[in-house]
């Protein structure tokens, strides 16, 4: 356990905080949290951080509890596992998931923690982690799909002092950067993360100078307590004592095995919500294990509750004592060292779908369909004609699920603050051309609210090199709810310049590409919400005109359209009414969930439908 060193240790003297002062401090911290982002985006070099915003900041109080931030507090786990001192001027760095209880979940995430001192007294923490493009290892991008241990995934940094009392540990940094392919990018991204944390420290010190340290820390305590009270009421009114369960799957492990079961049971005991993952599969032999940090899951849970039921509540750690998380040791979500973790993204995304499936069961009107589902990655690397190394890491997006209040957006991120890499940026900095970037008609699940369509990005490669692909939802379907139908699955098609096509697995490395080859990177669609036969036929006709739904796809909504050359399609009202009556009779009672075919049915039909062999039964480590 870490030892906190303070030149002027002072016990907190609680102070009553008036509403105006609390509001001023709260909004100052909110602004400082976003200022951290701005500093990082303007100084980092890698497109994953600079353009896509794959980073997560927080500002915590002196006890390490997040007051404002995005991904939940991980400082407690760090302090519990770090055997050393914390002193003024120190800056800590780690990328070892096993050393911080999964606060970061693979080695590409570099976590920086900075203790904030005011007049010799610890008053808080600034922290941030970002996904750096490369950390070495057996493949460019450091996310090998066939890894069987973390040792194959690149340099793993134990918790260390990057700065000791203000002095940079240059030898340690030189050693780390010697292991990676993109030294300039990694150095720049790391400096940017540190600068963002220093920005948080300056703003906290300014608040202490303005209001006094005791007032500032008392305000932090008040914000945490306010969150606890609000969440206690939400938990009491929305989570029952009866046990609800939900199961979803990660399709495969990159080694040809799957799907892997993630199972969760939720109930309430008194004022506490219990999330129990007993029944989840054991850890995989491959790299799709997800070391799920308990506090991170609590934050996911809290964000979902807050955004659905009361979006005005400030996200922070105050409610954490109200949520208990149980994850079996050695399971898919709590793997034992040194299990491979590099491709944990798919399970991370699936957790959002599972939480949505659990939290909406008692109140189906608040239920979301499936749509986070994965976080697809593309890596492209090689030497260009000048002999210079290039390396792209890019995150793609699928369809957002249909929701209680509207259609899911097409080809959009569900991560807070994430954006796509602009095509102009890609073409300017990498040897490729984006031939097309378009939605895939009919890929969103039909519903009263349509699931968002997936997208088809066509990359034409201009230099020889290799690509790696990381995706999921190619085997199982993004499920629909309240009568909504599942979204379409993902697929990857490589069209060779000399002729011929190859259907690529959703997880593969070292695929050789030549100038002129075109990769169609097609993502999944979101599930539909509500009865598609109640959707306004005129809206369906409008979406056909816009290319979001096809004429044949309109019939999945029970809508019959007449194509016209110089005008949008017209609704055949009598034919639509007859078709909808037939479809309702054939369907029968509306089900809360529509998962599509069973796992056994998917195995039987997989090759014919996807062009890929079904995954073999899971292999557990």
Distances (CA, A) of 172 to 162, 175, 184: 7, 5, 16
Do 137 and 244 have their domain in common?
A: no
- Our count of domains for the chain comes to 2
The answer as to whether 573 is a domain residue is no
Q: Compute the half-sphere exposure of residue 203: CA atoms within 13 Å on the CB side of its CA.
A: 25
**Which pLDDT tens digit goes with each residue over 66-83?**
999 876 677 887 888 888
Do 495 and 454 have their domain in common?
A: yes
Do 288 and 218 have their domain in common?
A: no
Q: Which residues share a beta bridge with 163?
A: 91, 168
Number of DSSP helices (H) and strands (E) in the chain, helices first: 13, 26
Angstrom distance (rounded) from CA 449 to CA 527: 9
Do 125 and 255 have their domain in common?
A: no
Distance of CA 358 to the CA centre of its chain: 18
The answer as to whether 555 is a domain residue is no
Strands 389-395 and 501-504 come out as unpaired
Q: Residue 268 burial (CB < 10 Å; 0-12/13-18/19+)?
A: middle
Q: Pick the closest to residue 338 from 378, 304, 289 (CA basis).
A: 289
Domain-terminating residue out of 170, 202, 225: 225
Do 219 and 243 have their domain in common?
A: no
Do 449 and 510 have their domain in common?
A: yes
Strands 465-470 and 507-513 come out as antiparallel
Distances (CA, A) of 142 to 12, 30, 154: 45, 34, 6
Angstrom distance (rounded) from CA 507 to CA 345: 12
Do 247 and 113 have their domain in common?
A: no
Confirm if 530 and 448 have CB atoms less than 8 A apart: yes
Confirm if 192 and 39 have CB atoms less than 8 A apart: yes
The answer as to whether 153 is a domain residue is yes
Q: Given this model, what pLDDT does residue 420 score?
A: 86
The answer as to whether 29 is a domain residue is yes
Do 142 and 213 have their domain in common?
A: yes
Angstrom distance (rounded) from CA 326 to CA 207: 38
The answer as to whether 36 is a domain residue is yes
Q: Pick the closest to residue 532 from 459, 467, 446, 414 (CA basis).
A: 446
Do 244 and 360 have their domain in common?
A: yes
Q: Pick the closest to residue 288 from 348, 329, 328 (CA basis).
A: 348
The answer as to whether 518 is a domain residue is yes
Q: Compute the half-sphere exposure of residue 153: CA atoms within 13 Å on the CB side of its CA.
A: 27
Q: Given this model, what pLDDT does residue 416 score?
A: 66
Confirm if 149 and 75 have CB atoms less than 8 A apart: no
**Which pLDDT tens digit goes with each residue over 219-240?**
999 999 999 998 998 899 889 8
Apex 291 CA angle, 320 and 619, nearest 5: 140
Domain-terminating residue out of 190, 225, 260: 225
* Tokens 């749509």 found at: 371
Split the chain (621 residues) into runs of 10 and give each run's mean pLDDT. 90 92 96 96 93 92 91 77 93 94 92 97 96 96 96 96 97 97 97 98 98 97 93 89 96 96 96 97 97 90 76 81 96 97 92 88 85 84 95 93 92 79 94 97 98 97 97 96 96 95 97 98 96 97 96 97 88 97 95 95 96 94 75
Q: Residue 265 burial (CB < 10 Å; 0-12/13-18/19+)?
A: middle
DSSP 32-61: HHHHHHHHHHHH--SHHHHTT--EEEEEE-
Q: Pick the closest to residue 528 from 452, 476, 414, 415 (CA basis).
A: 452
* Tokens 């940026």 found at: 425
The answer as to whether 60 is a domain residue is yes
Do 594 and 468 have their domain in common?
A: yes
The answer as to whether 300 is a domain residue is no
The whole-model pTM stands at 0.94
Domain-terminating residue out of 225, 249, 265: 225
Task: Identify the sign of the CA torsion 345, 346, 348, 352.
Answer: positive
Domain extent for 472: 239-292+327-531+590-610
Do 253 and 168 have their domain in common?
A: no
Do 137 and 267 have their domain in common?
A: no
Q: Pick the closest to residue 86 from 161, 20, 11 (CA basis).
A: 161
């Amino acid at each position: 356990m870490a030892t906190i060193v303070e030149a002027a240790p002072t016990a907190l003297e609680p102070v009553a905080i008036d509403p105006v002062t609390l509001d001023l401090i709260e909004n100052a911290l909110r602004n400082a949290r976003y200022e951290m982002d701005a500093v990082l985006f303007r100084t980092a070099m890698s497109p994953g951080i600079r353009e896509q915003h794959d980073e997560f900041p927080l500002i915590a109080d002196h006890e390490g509890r997040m007051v404002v931030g995005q991904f939940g507090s991980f400082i407690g786990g760090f302090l519990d596992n770090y055997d050393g001192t914390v002193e003024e001027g120190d800056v800590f760095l780690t990328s070892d998931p096993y050393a911080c209880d999964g606060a970061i979940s693979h080695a590409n995430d570099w976590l920086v923690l900075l203790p904030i001192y005011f007049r010799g007294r610890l008053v808080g923490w600034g922290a941030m982690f970002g996904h750096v493009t490369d950390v070495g290892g057996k493949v460019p991008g450091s996310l090998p799909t066939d890894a069987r241990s973390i040792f194959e995934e690149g340099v793993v940094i134990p918790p260390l002092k990057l700065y000791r009392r203000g002095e940079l540990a240059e030898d340690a940094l030189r050693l780390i950067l010697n292991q990676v392919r993109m030294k300039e990018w990694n150095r720049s991204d790391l400096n940017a993360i540190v600068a963002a944390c220093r920005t948080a420290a300056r703003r906290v010190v300014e608040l202490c100078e303005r209001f006094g340290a005791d007032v500032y820390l008392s305000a932090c305590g008040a914000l945490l307590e306010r969150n606890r009270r609000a969440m206690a009421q939400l938990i009491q009114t929305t989570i029952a004592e009866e046990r609800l369960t939900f199961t979803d799957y990660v399709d495969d492990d990159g080694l040809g095995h799957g799907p892997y079961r993630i199972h969760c049971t939720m109930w309430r005991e008194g004022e506490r919500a219990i999330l129990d993952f007993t029944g989840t599969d054991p850890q995989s032999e491959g790299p799709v294990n997800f070391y799920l940090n308990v506090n991170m899951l609590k934050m996911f849970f809290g964000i979902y509750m807050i955004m659905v039921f009361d979006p005005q509540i400030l996200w922070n750690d105050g409610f954490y004592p109200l949520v208990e998380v149980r994850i079996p040791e050695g399971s898919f979500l709590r793997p034992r060292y040194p299990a491979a973790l590099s491709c944990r993204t798919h399970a991370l995304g699936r957790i959002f779908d599972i939480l949505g499936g659990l939290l909406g069961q008692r109140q189906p009107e608040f239920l979301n369909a499936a749509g986070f589902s994965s976080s697809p990655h593309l890596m492209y690397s090689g030497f260009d004609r000048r002999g210079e190394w290039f390396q792209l890491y890019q995150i793609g997006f699928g369809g957002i699920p249909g929701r209680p209040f509207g259609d899911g957006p097409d080809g959009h991120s569900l991560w807070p603050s994430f954006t796509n890499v602009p095509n102009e940026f890609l073409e300017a900095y990498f040897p490729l051309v984006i031939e097309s970037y378009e939605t895939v008609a009919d890929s969103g699940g039909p519903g009263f609210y349509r699931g968002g369509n997936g997208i088809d990005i066509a990359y034409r490669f201009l230099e020889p090199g290799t690509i790696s692909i990381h995706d999921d939802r190619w085997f199982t379907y993004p499920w629909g709810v309240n009568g909504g139908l599942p979204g379409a699955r993902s697929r990857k098609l490589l069209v060779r310049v000399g002729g011929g096509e190859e259907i690529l697995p959703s997880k593969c490395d070292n695929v050789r590409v030549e100038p002129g080859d075109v990769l169609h990177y097609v993502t999944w669609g979101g599930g539909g919400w509500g009865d598609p036969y109640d959707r306004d036929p005129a809206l369906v006709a409008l979406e056909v005109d816009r290319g979001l739904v096809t004429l044949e796809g309109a019939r999945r909504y029970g809508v019959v359209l007449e194509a016209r050359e110089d005008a949008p399609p017209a609704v055949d009202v009598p034919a639509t009414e007859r078709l909808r009556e037939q479809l309702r009779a054939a369907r029968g009672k509306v089900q809360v969930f529509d998962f599509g075919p069973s796992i056994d049915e998917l195995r039987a039909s997989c090759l014919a439908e996807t062009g890929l062999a079904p995954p073999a039964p899971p292999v557990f480590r």
